[in-house]
Structure 1
Amino acid sequence: MYEFVPKAQLRDVTLRDGLQLTGKLLDVDRKLQVARGLLKAGVPALEIGSMARGDLVPPMANTLEVIGELSAEELERCWVWVATPRHVEKAAAAGARNFQYCFSASDSHNEANIGRTTEASLAAMPDAVQISQSVGGQIELCIATSFTCPFEGQVPQERVLAIANDERATGTSDIVICDTLGQAVPAQVSSLVSRVAAESPARRIVFHGHDTWGLGVANTLAAITAGATMVDGSLGGLGGCPFAPGASGNTSSEDILFATRPDWFTPDTLAGMVEISEKLLAELGEPMRSKTVQGARSSQSGHSAGSTPAARAFEWVI
């Protein structure tokens, strides 16, 4: 089997970024079923919810209940989106230990998404870090709109680097570079991730991409080559930011895995993930955007109706 080097871990964000634009609240048991199915399949990390207000982002309303039902062992592989120290405190009390502290590089998007300026979010970060450390947890510096903002346009790399180097982010385990709108191209991703790796404190680099313009997988591979060691994806390409006009689905987890081929990802694993993905998207009334899933279902591709299907020589065909 071909091996993609360098390697990166997948973090599946279906239960947070994937669900938040659908407007539909899945009950706790259904969320747990999805989370445990993915963990059992071998997905290294999950984003299981957000501390955003339920009246503003209804699909996240039962996040604390989901956290409370997961075991400590399961929670070691799960991340929760937070935007304030109080968010960290509440999630930690429920049992969470991995926190993604997120705000935008652009003030306009941060005001729309979180209700405060970027500076205000940065100013509160030391308290968020302290709370996470007090429970033995880890916290990420997550920079949304790292490439473009729906209100301000292009975001200068220097803006992102200034945040990455801000002393108030000291103590963060990772830095997440987000192509929130999916408007970046591989050269931009490679350039910014390379600069973050070379010009900011040493920590794990995570890339979060969207597939709005069809470059989700290409951008993810560019990020990995440039130094990212964790990348985000969502089942079937589900997702998008409700406060970012023009943003569509996340890069498909299945597509990222098919492109990178981690050791644990086999044709049988893909088949199991496709089953989870198809059932969930059908339940939500959402389209299947994953090209890998479409390809895996194409055993009769190229044959006329009623003809004998092609021999399934390609092991990834389901």
Structure 2
Amino acid sequence: MTTTTGTARVRDVTLRDGLQLTGGLMPTDEKVRLVRELLDLGISDIEIGSMARPDLVPPMANTLEVVEALEPDELARCWVWVATPRGVERAASAGVTRMQYCLSVSDAHNRANIGRSTEDSMAALPRALDIAGEAGAELQLCLATSFTCPFDGAVDPERTLALVRDPRAERCSDTVICDTLGQADPAQVAYLVGETARIRPEHEVVFHGHDTWGMGVANALAAVGAGATVLDGALGGLGGCPFAPGAAGNTSTEDLLFALKPAGMTPERFATFVRLGERVTSSLGEESTSRAAKGARSTARAFDWVIAD
């Protein structure tokens, strides 16, 4: 996907981050259907669930059922969230080959989200990498609360970058910089993403943004300009962390695709994404916050990207 600021692809995270706060459990067959629809539409990377405890995050309870239902070539394009070596082991045993090992830069959020300190999570990373390596799987390092923490406020950028350059992260395939609360601005995003790309040139840099303060697309484009090659988004702007009060949903997949205008993204294909987002949010009883989807439903019929029906 080429933009005026660089090249990136969109990873859809509807089925993990997007569902975390919805409360109910989307049936396995509906999740599998959505995976296949997104793949058919050209989305190259999809986050399909997590190894989080189902009693804490009920919408993730059927993640391994989704994994089992997918064909190997489909699963090869899918990601699963993990936070412990045991989670990596469970996912790998089920056939998952792409995982993101998540920890929070802020100790307070890491304790709330994962139940241990940031250092404890980093100390377990080498074992997680060993398990992934033995299974032929790749493991991303995902740094939540890279900019701000819901409990402690602003996070020192150097604290984030210290984790990026930590030798224990060398074997990770990529680094994910997360604006978990959606409170960062484009300058902050450009700095952290740019430094991460400089420190770890062998890693892809993923930017995971939320749209709490309306900066989702602006931050995503700033990230691409600074070296990010993957942007996370969720249909309808769904999402949020159950342990991050004040966070709104992810930057919407529809908004990112409209802003990026990737090769092959015709008005007709974009309309399919809009309808898909509408179906998913409606089935969950949620309201879409995608501005591009709302624009596509406007009465400005002379604009090619407006849906006619």
Where do residues 134-213 of structure 1 align in structure 2 (5 Å cutoff)? 134-200=134-200, 202-213=202-213
Which stretch of the first structure deviates more once superposed, 242-251 or 273-282?
Answer: 273-282
SS of 1:136's equivalent in the other structure is coil
Residue equivalent to 1:305: none
Alignment partners' CA distance in 1, 2:294 and 2:282 = 15
Residue equivalent to 1:6: 6
Where do residues 88-167 of structure 1 align in structure 2 (5 Å cutoff)? 88-167=88-167
Does structure 2 retain, via aligned residues, the 8 Å contact 1:81–1:99? yes
TM-score w.r.t. length of structure 1: 0.94
Alignment partners' CA distance in 1, 2:110 and 2:171 = 22
Does structure 2 retain, via aligned residues, the 8 Å contact 1:161–1:200? no
Which stretch of the first structure deviates more once superposed, 258-267 or 154-163?
Answer: 258-267
Alignment partners' CA distance in 1, 2:23 and 2:273 = 23
SS of 2:272's equivalent in the other structure is helix
User: Which deviations, in whole Å up to 9, do the C-alpha atoms of 1:85-115 show, x marking residues without a partner?
Assistant: 1111111111110000000000000000000
SS of 2:131's equivalent in the other structure is helix
By how many angstroms is 1:3 displaced?
4.6
Does structure 1 retain, via aligned residues, the 8 Å contact 2:5–2:221? no
List structure 1 runs of 4+ shifted beyond 4 angstroms: none
By how many angstroms is 1:247 displaced?
0.5
TM-score w.r.t. length of structure 2: 0.97
By how many angstroms is 1:5 displaced?
3.9
Residue equivalent to 1:308: none
Where do residues 237-316 of structure 1 align in structure 2 (5 Å cutoff)? 237-298=237-298, 300-301=299-300, 312-316=301-305
Number of equivalent positions:
306
Q: Identify unmatched segments of 5+ residues in structure 1.
A: 302-311
Alignment partners' CA distance in 2, 1:87 and 1:264 = 37
User: Which deviations, in whole Å up to 9, do the C-alpha atoms of 1:168-210 show, x marking residues without a partner?
Assistant: 1121010000000000000100111111122345310000000
SS of 2:16's equivalent in the other structure is helix
SS of 2:184's equivalent in the other structure is coil
Alignment partners' CA distance in 2, 1:61 and 1:132 = 22
C-alpha RMSD of matched pairs (Å): 1.1
Note if 1:73 corresponds to 2:73: yes
Which stretch of the first structure deviates more once superposed, 224-233 or 256-265?
Answer: 256-265
By how many angstroms is 1:248 displaced?
0.7
Identical amino acids, percent of aligned pairs: 60
Does structure 2 retain, via aligned residues, the 8 Å contact 1:9–1:231? yes
SS of 1:14's equivalent in the other structure is coil
Alignment partners' CA distance in 1, 2:32 and 2:276 = 12
Alignment partners' CA distance in 2, 1:200 and 1:31 = 34
Alignment partners' CA distance in 2, 1:265 and 1:24 = 32
Q: Identify unmatched segments of 5+ residues in structure 2.
A: none
Alignment partners' CA distance in 1, 2:110 and 2:159 = 14
Alignment partners' CA distance in 1, 2:112 and 2:24 = 21
Which residue identity does 2:229 align to in structure 1?
T
User: Which deviations, in whole Å up to 9, do the C-alpha atoms of 1:141-163 show, x marking residues without a partner?
Assistant: 00000000001111111101110
Which stretch of the first structure deviates more once superposed, 5-14 or 195-204?
Answer: 195-204
Does structure 2 retain, via aligned residues, the 8 Å contact 1:4–1:261? no
By how many angstroms is 1:73 displaced?
0.4
By how many angstroms is 1:139 displaced?
0.6
Alignment partners' CA distance in 2, 1:113 and 1:237 = 21
Residue equivalent to 1:228: 228
By how many angstroms is 1:59 displaced?
0.2
Alignment partners' CA distance in 2, 1:264 and 1:91 = 33
By how many angstroms is 1:76 displaced?
1.3
Alignment partners' CA distance in 1, 2:106 and 2:10 = 27
SS of 2:176's equivalent in the other structure is strand
Where do residues 19-30 of structure 1 align in structure 2 (5 Å cutoff)? 19-30=19-30
SS of 2:86's equivalent in the other structure is helix
Which stretch of the first structure deviates more once superposed, 98-107 or 128-137?
Answer: 128-137
Which residue identity does 1:233 align to in structure 2?
G
